[in-house]
Amino acid sequence: MTDKTSQIKQEFFEKLKEVKDIADLENIKVQYLGKNGTVTALMKDMKTLDADMKKQFGQVVNQLKTEVSNAVSDKFEELKKAAVEKEINSMADFDVSTPANLERGSYHPITLVQRECEKIFKSMGFTVEDYSEIVTDYECFESLNIPKHHPARDMQDTYYLENGQLLKTQTSAAQNAIYKKYKDALINEGKPIKAIFPGRCFRNEATDACHENTFFQMEGVMVDKNISISNLIFFMKTMLSEVFRKDIKVRLRPGFFPFVEPGFELDISCLICGGDGCPSCKHSGWLELCPCGMIHPEVLKAGGIDPEEYTGFAFGLGLTRLAMMKYGVKDIRDLNSGNLKSLSQFTDDE
């Protein structure tokens, strides 16, 4: 009988060596420890033995049973670990520190508004440009007709790097590069420049409910022969009516920006009262939304475009402000707060 148990044991461990996965292991577990398994059968054999032998043999069989079940459990752990490691290695980008059971995320309200504007402008033939957040003084100011010591710089103090570059204070900083990128197609092939460039801007700003040191804008430019203020009004009105899903009235007031001439502040009819006057629009019926204007000849020149031949408009839409208006966010700081409870309530309503 003892010979039989050692033979079973030897056979079991040999088979165990061949096991490759959990399914194999389950099979041999059933084969040896299952109801009709080899080890279980030995227990049944014991019934036929006399009392003395039963005791002796019982101990041997019990030991075998323990060894077999321990070996099965160890192998199980080993296979499980190997499977997890294999899975982790197969996902190079998998972040194992991410908490499990994360709820599905949602887009940030500014992203939602940005994507919506991009879609609308794309449908009107504009390209969407990506531009660096770190720019040169030339890009952010000089090329925009804001020379050193110009008072317009006072309102746009920002964060400077040791190499003299800076975090852009306005998406207008990409204008020069965009003109240079597309001017050949404009001049040689007569293709108008129609581009928008959304981006994050930074200013050295004391924060309150309406001001943040980090905010989003979306700049747009269109340059061609005979571009006029009417083109500017048309594009802005179309875009805003789509964003707010209703007909939006717009009006222009004079505004000063060194890179446009004439420059304007574009107001929209109040979204709450529709223009009748209410506390939200300080009873004026209008909300200030988007500075804009006709691109200054010096700015076109700096971009390699002849202002005698071409004209264009530019606008700087405050995306952060637009998101606040669209979603009724009262405090700008909520948008950068990382508070998921307030940020995840907005969805793409398409």
Nearer to ligand DAH, 109 or 312 (CB): 312
Minimum distance between the CB of residue 317 and ligand DAH, rounded to whole angstroms? 8
d(CA 145, CA 347): 40
Nearer to ligand DAH, 199 or 263 (CB): 263
Look at residue 301 and give its three-state secondary structure.
helix
| Alpha-carbon Rg for the chain in angstroms | 36
Count other Cβ atoms within 10 Å, centred on residue 65.
18
Nearer to ligand DAH, 68 or 174 (CB): 174
Nearer to ligand DAH, 19 or 314 (CB): 314
Residue nearest to ligand DAH (CB): 316
Count other Cβ atoms within 10 Å, centred on residue 315.
24
Minimum distance between the CB of residue 128 and ligand DAH, rounded to whole angstroms? 16
Count other Cβ atoms within 10 Å, centred on residue 168.
26
Give the closest residue to 334 by CA, choosing from 347, 344, 198: 344
Minimum distance between the CB of residue 170 and ligand DAH, rounded to whole angstroms? 3
Minimum distance between the CB of residue 173 and ligand DAH, rounded to whole angstroms? 8
Beta strand 193-202 pairing with 311-318: unpaired
Which residues are CB-contacts of 284 (< 8 A; sequence separation ≥ 6)?
A: 270, 277
Strands of the sheet with 250-254, listed across from one edge? 127-128, 193-202, 214-224, 311-318, 286-295, 260-269, 250-254
Minimum distance between the CB of residue 169 and ligand DAH, rounded to whole angstroms? 7
Nearer to ligand DAH, 242 or 288 (CB): 288
d(CA 97, CA 150): 50
Nearer to ligand DAH, 336 or 344 (CB): 336
Residue 195 φ/ψ, nearest 5 degrees? -140, 145
Minimum distance between the CB of residue 88 and ligand DAH, rounded to whole angstroms? 46
Minimum distance between the CB of residue 116 and ligand DAH, rounded to whole angstroms? 20
Nearer to ligand DAH, 219 or 267 (CB): 219
> Residue 151 has what DSSP assignment?
G
Beta strand 166-167 pairing with 193-202: unpaired
Which residues of the shown chain bind ligand DAH in the complex (CB under 6 A)?
170, 172, 219, 257, 260, 263, 291-293, 314-316
